Homo-oligomer: A and B are copies of this chain.
Amino acid sequence: MKVLMAEVNISEGKDLDLVEQVKAALLDGEAVDVMDINSNANHNRTVFTYKGSPEAVLDGTKRLAAKAIELIDMTKHTGSHPRIGAVDVVPFIPVKDVSIDEALVIARAFGKYLGDELGVPVYYYEDAATCEERKNLVRIRKGEYEALCERMKDPAWVPDEGPKDFNAKSGATVTGVRFPLVAFNVNLKTADIAIAKQIVKAVRGAAGGYQNVRAIALPLEERGIVQVSMNLTNYEKTPIHRVFETIKSEASQYGILVEDCELVGPVPVYALEEVLKFYLRTHTFSMEQLYF
């Protein structure tokens, strides 16, 4: 059974009546499994997380986006979280038996719908990016909604889909495909942030570490210890246990032990496959054997 997940970020987190209307639009068709709806008033942003068959997820995301584009006016939007449009970011995330290529078909169909039917400029990012500079969300969103009108005049930032002119009411939308993230934190039995920073350097992809690891060092003030806080962006190629074992090994050169670890937020059960194989040595185990 194919399972695709979508994580839709819209630029409204205070008006919960509006959020309800958007949710109702999502649910008004073939069933998707809503995993989480998180509204943050400070960010003034709501994240809808749901999964289902690729077709059901595409159709539901179109309905959700159409309603959000109808109701949200970016000329009046303020909030602490970076954003570029009413329907701000829409990653499609392959969960089970869906290839990256299949997910790309869905992301492109959604992008075309937004551009052609709803008149919203669209940028493709991550695995759907049309060039290297558009892979990274932070780069696409630079200057946010307020800078978008000027930015769209730059030939380097012509949208991938939809009108080439600024849409003041809706801004732009970033959509694409990415692997499921795993948020994994390792807490070190030391208050010395310099040690956490050294370990970040050892594991972080950008610093020469593992390809699919984003990492920062943080102090945990109330506990008097430090944390290596990570997003693992591809748990198949860079599994949790390998990163963890490397951190333990790197920490040992300072005589520092790991206090404990955290897996934060939703975790795809498939991210545990390599972990089980490593620690329990169950090389013939298939995740199909698991039941809930």
Contact = CB atoms under 8 A, between A and B. Distances in A.
Contact of A289 (B96, B263, B281): B263
A240 interface: yes
Interface of A: 3, 5, 35, 51, 95-96, 240-241, 244, 258-263, 265-269, 272, 275-276, 279-285, 289-292
Nearest to A283: B260
Contacts of A266: 289-291
A272 B282 contact: no
B283 A268 contact: no
Contacts of A292: 3, 95-96, 268-269, 292
A281 B260 contact: yes
B285 A263 contact: yes
A262 B289 contact: no
Residue with the greatest number of chain B CB neighbours at <10 A, chosen from A275, A283, A289, A291: A291
A-B CB proximity, top 10 nearest: A279-B279, A261-B281, A260-B281, A269-B290, A263-B285, A261-B282, A263-B282, A267-B289, A266-B291, A269-B292
B289 A240 contact: no
A285 B262 contact: yes
